[in-house]
Chain A
Amino acid sequence: MLAALISRVLRRVAQKSAHRVLVASRNSSNDATFEIEKCDLYLLEEGPPVTTVLTRAEGLKYYRMMLTVRRMELKADQLYKQKFIRGFCHLCDGQEACCVGLEAGINPSDHIITSYRAHGMCYTRGLSVRSILTELTGRRGGCAKGKGGSMHMYTKNFYGGNGIVGAQGPLGAGVALACKYKGNNEICLTLYGDGAANQGQIAEAFNMAALWKLPCVFICENNLYAMGTFTERAAASTDYYKRGNFIPGLKVDGMDVLCVREATKFAANYCRSGKGPILMELQTYRYHGHSMSDPGVSYRTREEIQEVRSKRDPIMILQDRMVNSKLATVEELKEIGTEVKKEIDDAAQFATSDPEPCLEELGHHVYSSDSSFEVRGANPWIKFKSVS
């Protein structure tokens, strides 16, 4: 049974690998046109384009961003094993094309909310590697002052990082409601995983978003495994892009940053035109287990992971495209790699040496905009001052 499932996945992986090195027509040394995979459509007459132009500048930017996310996640893995990071740590290496591609398809003034596998998105939304790693190590220089950790990082127009599976569905629809209410032409990308797709509240969010025509792009990041449960073991229908029922959907190759970008642009335009919500399924893969406490090989094979790494790695796909179309040289990309390594190492150095928040701050931020008050500690004689 398991063997049959795995072979099905491998077949799907092998099919996709044929598209990896696509036809590139060089228009100039500054940009190139690439063919991208056609998206399966649901309740849509037409979908995103099947070719796209990538400029050299964009290519270098996406490459740098994806490599930064990759290296940052690997550094987090290392820090976790060294016990600098404790608690939950859900890594997204393998899924870099999703966060980078989504950001490339929207404006900074648009909004994003996602699940706990959020480090990559925190970076693409504007948080520095330093503030992310320092939050992971729980120090005062972290973006949430050490009080949130891996799953609760926030920045402008980014609402986390949510620990409860599926809760971000309605939250994102609510952000979209605010966008419509204010009439500011902004949209909200509401991400959830293949596991969360089975939450009732996701269906409730779909219903209300469609009913009220909220400018919400629901995005199912399907990495095939909800913790240790393969999609086919959890869902009666694994066509996640059709599960919006009355909401149009697209199935997108989530390992190709250009495919993600074009699909996102298409979906964003759809929402901005007032037609209501739309659903995107990003087919992607995570190399790590569900979290750092999961080796990730009891419910899938090492061969499968290796297959994806060698045939569908998102960074490799972009690298090959850029080098083959002479948008960049191998040396240039190596140079970027060196710079990224330095950035990550510096950030890790800071993250492991920054002091922890002082105990006096334990009671802070209980309430917003309030005058300070006392919070009871572990016994009646220990009190903490709480400042907003």
Chain B
Amino acid sequence: MAAVSGLVRRPLREVTVRDAINQGMDEELERDEKVFLLGEEVAQYDGAYKVSRGLWKKYGDKRIIDTPISEMGFAGIAVGAAMAGLRPICEFMTFNFSMQAIDQVINSAAKTYYMSGGLQSVPIVFRGPNGASAGVAAQHSQCFAAWYGHCPGLKVVSPWNSEDAKGLIKSAIRDNNPVVVLENELMYGVPFEFPPEAQSKDFLIPIGKAKIERQGTHITVVSHSRPVGHCLEAAAVLSKEGVECEVINMRTIRPMDMETIEASVMKTNHLVTVEGGWPQFGVGAEICARIMEGISEKLVLEYSQAVVNIMYLNTYSIKRLKARSGQTTTLNLSCVQFPGCSCCSCHWC
């Protein structure tokens, strides 16, 4: 039997992002008695977006807890439970509602290990959909990557595909620190090939490590969450014109993997950051600042003029470092044509 199965090429399983997160949580709930999930509609409703489907039936009231609509209250309860030795997963129906609880996330969770001089750790996961959805208007479309990414003591991850989603949620649950997991509602239903290693119950993706999704030599494109998909599509279009993009999927917002980004920019000398958040004080702004502070020295030292052209177009920030010649050219994003981008809420464009 074994010899025969070795000859037959088994197709890779396709798993949606939703099911990947569900699997990840299920495995961790099974593995560790101290893990539990709380949030609005996570139990009997099977999750507002069905991410926790089946978990309440399997684990019951004690471990899958429906809360009233009291974000500040239940986020604080989750943090308190973490301080007392449990490992809660606190779901925000969307991260927009986390704003009501943000004091508990930052002041009670993120800062505590430091303020206590290493005495009190807070092993908690805050997860939920982040950023834009389809036509849900301004109050329900904010991306919190920059706000949470700003705070020391917090880890912030932003999965793109199913593999990311499962590996990162498992790492987040096993991490002894407060971890914010920024999912994306529009990605929940998207299926991806699930490599064999991702099917293991111990499949983990390290927090703090980016992934190069596509190798390239001409331009580095850095992104996180859903826009990673857009970047790969754009890269395919550009490839036909002879421009090879290196697409980096950040996976983690904080601690940010600058090594991978720097190594890529050293190779290509061109950088575009793509994100679903607002440009001012955003994730892209931070990447560009660090490039300027860090390797721009190495790139520019030989040349008399360091020129950086910064142009913001909608939610995409564009920077061009020209170190080889003294000239600058601007990159008009509309020429790059991100295909399939019909999802955006119109309040930006």
A and B found bound together? yes
* A residues less than 8 Å from B152 (CB atoms): 366, 375
Q: B153 an interface residue at 8 Å Cβ cutoff?
A: yes
Q: How many angstroms from the CA of A324 to the CA of B123 in the assembled complex? A: 53
Stretch from A59-67, A138-146, A238-246, A312-320 that touches the partner:
A138-146
> Given A162-B108, A178-B86, A365-B118, is A173 in contact with B80 using a C-beta cutoff of 8 Å?
yes
Do the beta carbons of B85 and A367 come within 8 Å of each other? no
* A residues less than 8 Å from B115 (CB atoms): 144, 147-148, 152
Q: How many angstroms from the CA of A170 to the CA of B76 in the assembled complex? A: 5
Within 8 A of B (CB), among A233-283: none
* B residues less than 8 Å from A367 (CB atoms): 113, 153, 155, 177
* B residues less than 8 Å from A171 (CB atoms): 76-77, 79-80, 83, 104, 108
Within 8 A of B (CB), among A161-195: 162-164, 167, 169-179, 181-182, 188
Do the beta carbons of B76 and A154 come within 8 Å of each other? no
> Given A170-B73, A170-B77, A365-B117, is A370 in contact with B177 using a C-beta cutoff of 8 Å?
yes
> Given A170-B75, A208-B67, is A177 in contact with B80 using a C-beta cutoff of 8 Å?
yes
* B residues less than 8 Å from A164 (CB atoms): 103, 107-108
Residue picked from B77, B82, B121, most chain A C-beta under 10 Å:
B77
Interface string of A355-378 (1 = CB under 8 A from B): 000000000111111100101000
The number of chain B residues touching the other chain, given as a range, is 35 or more
Do the beta carbons of B177 and A169 come within 8 Å of each other? no
Q: B189 an interface residue at 8 Å Cβ cutoff?
A: no
Do the beta carbons of A178 and B85 come within 8 Å of each other? yes
Q: B120 an interface residue at 8 Å Cβ cutoff?
A: yes
Q: How many angstroms from the CA of A388 to the CA of B176 in the assembled complex? A: 11
Select A145's contact among B77, B84, B103, B117, beta carbons within 8 Å: B117
Q: Nearest-CB distance from B312 to chain A (Å)?
A: 24
Q: Nearest-CB distance from A244 to chain B (Å)?
A: 14
Select A177's contact among B75, B81, B155, beta carbons within 8 Å: B81
Do the beta carbons of B73 and A366 come within 8 Å of each other? no
* A residues less than 8 Å from B177 (CB atoms): 367-370
* B residues less than 8 Å from A208 (CB atoms): 67-68, 70, 73-74, 77
Interface string of A201-213 (1 = CB under 8 A from B): 1001101100110
Do the beta carbons of A143 and B117 come within 8 Å of each other? yes
Do the beta carbons of B83 and A159 come within 8 Å of each other? yes
The number of chain A residues touching the other chain, given as a range, is 35 or more
Do the beta carbons of B117 and A146 come within 8 Å of each other? yes
Which residue of chain B has its CB nearest to the CB of A207?
A: B68
> Given A144-B119, A167-B103, A368-B113, is A174 in contact with B72 using a C-beta cutoff of 8 Å?
no
* A residues less than 8 Å from B10 (CB atoms): none
Do the beta carbons of B67 and A147 come within 8 Å of each other? no
> Given A170-B75, A201-B73, is A113 in contact with B80 using a C-beta cutoff of 8 Å?
yes
Do the beta carbons of B83 and A147 come within 8 Å of each other? no
* A residues less than 8 Å from B65 (CB atoms): 212
* B residues less than 8 Å from A160 (CB atoms): 116, 120
Q: How many angstroms from the CA of A167 to the CA of B119 in the assembled complex? A: 19
> Given A144-B115, A207-B70, A366-B152, is A380 in contact with B76 using a C-beta cutoff of 8 Å?
no
Q: B294 an interface residue at 8 Å Cβ cutoff?
A: yes
Interface string of B259-288 (1 = CB under 8 A from A): 000000000000000000000000000000
Which residue of chain B has its CB nearest to the CB of A186?
A: B84
Do the beta carbons of B86 and A205 come within 8 Å of each other? no
Q: B78 an interface residue at 8 Å Cβ cutoff?
A: yes
Which residue of chain B has its CB nearest to the CB of A140?
A: B117
Q: How many angstroms from the CA of A155 to the CA of B119 in the assembled complex? A: 8
Do the beta carbons of B116 and A366 come within 8 Å of each other? no
Select A159's contact among B62, B103, B118, B120, beta carbons within 8 Å: B120
Q: B54 an interface residue at 8 Å Cβ cutoff?
A: no
Q: B293 an interface residue at 8 Å Cβ cutoff?
A: yes
* A residues less than 8 Å from B83 (CB atoms): 159, 171, 174-175
Which residue of chain B has its CB nearest to the CB of A209?
A: B77
Q: Nearest-CB distance from B335 to chain A (Å)?
A: 34
Q: A108 an interface residue at 8 Å Cβ cutoff?
A: no
> Given A113-B80, A175-B84, A207-B70, is A170 in contact with B104 using a C-beta cutoff of 8 Å?
yes
Q: How many angstroms from the CA of A144 to the CA of B120 in the assembled complex? A: 10
Select B107's contact among A163, A366, A370, beta carbons within 8 Å: A163
Which residue of chain A has its CB nearest to the CB of B65?
A: A212
Do the beta carbons of B118 and A368 come within 8 Å of each other? yes
Q: How many angstroms from the CA of A178 to the CA of B255 in the assembled complex? A: 30
Interface string of B43-67 (1 = CB under 8 A from A): 0000000000000000000100101
Q: B147 an interface residue at 8 Å Cβ cutoff?
A: no
Q: A200 an interface residue at 8 Å Cβ cutoff?
A: yes
Select A173's contact among B68, B76, B153, beta carbons within 8 Å: B76
* B residues less than 8 Å from A111 (CB atoms): 84
* B residues less than 8 Å from A175 (CB atoms): 80-81, 83-84
Do the beta carbons of B78 and A380 come within 8 Å of each other? no
Select A205's contact among B77, B120, B122, B175, beta carbons within 8 Å: B77
Q: B148 an interface residue at 8 Å Cβ cutoff?
A: no
* A residues less than 8 Å from B123 (CB atoms): 368
Q: How many angstroms from the CA of A176 to the CA of B85 in the assembled complex? A: 11
Q: B36 an interface residue at 8 Å Cβ cutoff?
A: yes
Do the beta carbons of B76 and A201 come within 8 Å of each other? yes
Q: How many angstroms from the CA of A375 to the CA of B85 in the assembled complex? A: 28
Which residue of chain A has its CB nearest to the CB of B255?
A: A373
Do the beta carbons of A178 and B81 come within 8 Å of each other? yes
Do the beta carbons of A167 and B62 come within 8 Å of each other? no
Which residue of chain B has its CB nearest to the CB of A179?
A: B84
Which residue of chain A has its CB nearest to the CB of B116?
A: A154
* A residues less than 8 Å from B68 (CB atoms): 204, 207-208, 211
Q: Nearest-CB distance from B255 to chain A (Å)?
A: 7
* B residues less than 8 Å from A179 (CB atoms): 84
* A residues less than 8 Å from B103 (CB atoms): 164, 167
* A residues less than 8 Å from B293 (CB atoms): 380
For the complex with contacts A167-B76, A178-B80, 15 further pairs of A-B residues with Cβ separation under 8 Å are: A143-B117, A148-B116, A154-B119, A167-B108, A173-B76, A177-B77, A204-B76, A208-B68, A208-B70, A208-B73, A211-B68, A365-B113, A366-B153, A368-B122, A375-B152
Contact sample, A vs B, 24 pairs, CB 8 Å cutoff: A143-B117, A144-B116, A145-B118, A154-B120, A155-B119, A159-B83, A159-B120, A170-B73, A170-B75, A171-B77, A171-B80, A177-B77, A177-B80, A178-B85, A179-B84, A181-B62, A204-B70, A204-B73, A205-B73, A208-B70, A211-B68, A368-B121, A368-B123, A369-B121
Leading 3 A-B pairs by shortest Cβ distance: A174-B80, A170-B76, A204-B73
